[in-house]
Amino acid sequence: MRISLLLLCSLLIPPSPGLAPSPESPPWRCPLPSPPASCACDLPHTLRCSGGDRLALAAIARALRDLPPPASVSLLDCSLANVTWLPPRVLQGVALHGLVVSSGQLRRVSRAAFEGLSSPLLALGLPNNALPAVPGPALAALRRLDRLDLSRNAIASLDALCFPGLDNLTFLDLSDNPVSRVAPGTFSSSLPALGTLRLRGTSLDAPAIASAFRGARALHELDLSASAVEGPLGPDSLPPLPALQTLSLARNNLTSVRRGALEALPALASLCLAHNQIDVLEDDAFLHLGTLVTLDLSHNRVVTVSGASLAHLPTLVRLDLAHNFLRALTADVVSPLRSLQELRLDDNDISMVAAGAMEAAPGSLRRLTLSDNPLNCDCGISAFASWLSSGGLPASDRATALCATPPALENGLLVEVLPSQLLCGDEPALTPPSTPPPATAPPGARLIRFAFDGSRVSLLWAVGKGGGAPAPYSCDALFVYEEVGAHEVLLNSSPLRCDSAALPDASRLAVALPAADLHPGHKYR
């Protein structure tokens, strides 16, 4: 993490004209202070020092003080041992734009620690230390500070006095601190220009989050991953943030996405909800997120996705549903998303692709992955096999669709299976007759017996039209739909093999299904 900050500072804070050599100046040379610190330069105008002790920083400052412009250092990164506090004016007379100090033991920063610098400090990193609080009095001297990294410390609470005078701060990283309390106004009145805020790995829960960011109108990127957020994600989970474009709530304990969730984020373009416990996406869950481009729902417990739950996402380009419990790919997943280009469905329980599912896919779809799904390669998947072979996807994506059943096709690529091999029942492929047989009406069916033993549901159907003998029939798949409000949601799909010619009594059809996902009082079809 510290190296990432260094690179970011080096890229975003170029040396000022006074530090950059002119065409006539000699090339920049790395100033190497004498021990107790070991220093090196791997980027122009960047000095990295490690080792040493509490005297090392003073020695480095003496070596850097009054260097001529060709040798000036813009970014100083120090990883020092046995440093528990930063003394006053420790870098007096040194011209720096970026400073990083990590010791693992730093607990105190003198009020005057950053006074005396001969140039304005724009980026400050104090990561991987033991600071119990934000060193506000010391930061007050850094009026032009743009970036601040206080990640991996011991900061437990924040208030408006933590960041005095930092009106120009646009980037703040407080990740991996035990922050559990944030006073109202901390990120608004105290930091009016704050655009990027990282609070990954804190102890903030849903009530604290709902009040902590009120009024942060400039905030456009917010990372709240791996915090203490649990329960449903609803309309009031975050206060109005009109400029927020990127939000991560990954690695929390969210359980569902309610109707109109995050309605106060009208500009949101990227939402990450990966690694939660989400099993329900309510209808109109993303009702007010019409600007969303990327939605990550991977590593959750989603079993079904209704078309109504993904409605109102006209600009969505990337949808990640990998590592869930989806059992079927239906038109509900793709038909509402008219701009979809990339769909990830790896590591689900998808055994079937509903007929017509991909006919509803937008023409913009260019990526679809299905690795680690138990696809049942029978006649019911033939339309998807034809779509997959059409060439719209890259070969690497087509190769993710592997057959799990029947045994004869196990581990075979679906795109390499011949249409004549996609059979239903145990019948061999037949040569089509020269003239089609006359059409016959399908048999009627009515339920005559229902039984539930606590783990399985048993159904007995009477098959036949008007009480007569049933026409020849076979079974392909069993679908279970749950009634949710005014909609039906596909809950389960599994292969179902039967051939009326092989049944002792073709007018009676017994069907059994596991009841693990069925609940008393709910309505199913």
Q: Mean of the pLDDT values across residues 49-74?
A: 78
What's the confidence (pLDDT) of residue 15?
Answer: 41
Per-residue H/E/C for 348-395: CCCCEECCCCHHHCCCCCCEEECCCCCEECCHHHHHHHHHHCCCCCCH
What's the confidence (pLDDT) of residue 437?
Answer: 42
Q: Mean of the pLDDT values across residues 72-83?
A: 89
Average pLDDT over all residues of the chain: 85
pLDDT in tens, 233-286: 999 999 999 999 999 999 999 999 999 999 999 999 999 999 999 999 999 999
Q: Which of 176-180, 181-185, 237-241, 459-463 has the lowest mean pLDDT?
A: 459-463
| 458 CB-contact burial (10 Å; exposed 0-12 / middle 13-18 / buried 19+) | middle
pLDDT in tens, 384-421: 999 999 878 999 999 999 999 999 999 999 999 999 89
pLDDT at 298 over 70: yes
The residues, ordered by sequence, that sit 6+ positions from 425 with a Cβ below 8 Å of its Cβ are 474, 475, 497, 498, 499
Residue type, 462: A
State how far the Cα of 269 lies from the Cα of 423, in Å rounded to an integer: 44
Nearest to 109 by CA among 82, 90, 92: 90
Q: Between 520 and 318, name the one with better pLDDT.
A: 318
Q: What angle do CA 274, 276, 278 make, to 5 degrees?
A: 105
Q: Mean of the pLDDT values across residues 330-338?
A: 92
Buried-state track 152-167, b at ≥16 Cβ within 10 A, e below 16:
bbebebbbbebbbebe
Q: Mean of the pLDDT values across residues 107-113?
A: 96
SS3 501: helix
pLDDT in tens, 353-375: 998 899 888 889 999 999 999 99
Q: Mean of the pLDDT values across residues 316-325?
A: 98
Six token digits for residue 7 = 């690179």
When pLDDT is cut at 50, 70 and 90, the band that residue 29 belongs to is confident
What percent of the chain has a predicted confidence (pLDDT) above 70?
A: 86
What's the confidence (pLDDT) of residue 436?
Answer: 42
SS3 207: helix
pTM, to two decimals: 0.77
Q: Strands 123-125 and 221-223, how do they pair? A: unpaired
What's the confidence (pLDDT) of residue 233?
Answer: 96
When pLDDT is cut at 50, 70 and 90, the band that residue 143 belongs to is very high
Residue type, 4: S
pLDDT in tens, 440-485: 444 567 777 777 766 678 787 788 765 566 778 877 777 777 776 6
When pLDDT is cut at 50, 70 and 90, the band that residue 13 belongs to is very low
pLDDT in tens, 199-236: 999 999 888 888 889 889 999 999 999 999 999 999 99
State how far the Cα of 324 lies from the Cα of 302, in Å rounded to an integer: 5
Is the separation of the CB atoms in 187 and 209 below 8 Å?
no
The residues, ordered by sequence, that sit 6+ positions from 210 with a Cβ below 8 Å of its Cβ are 236, 237, 238, 239
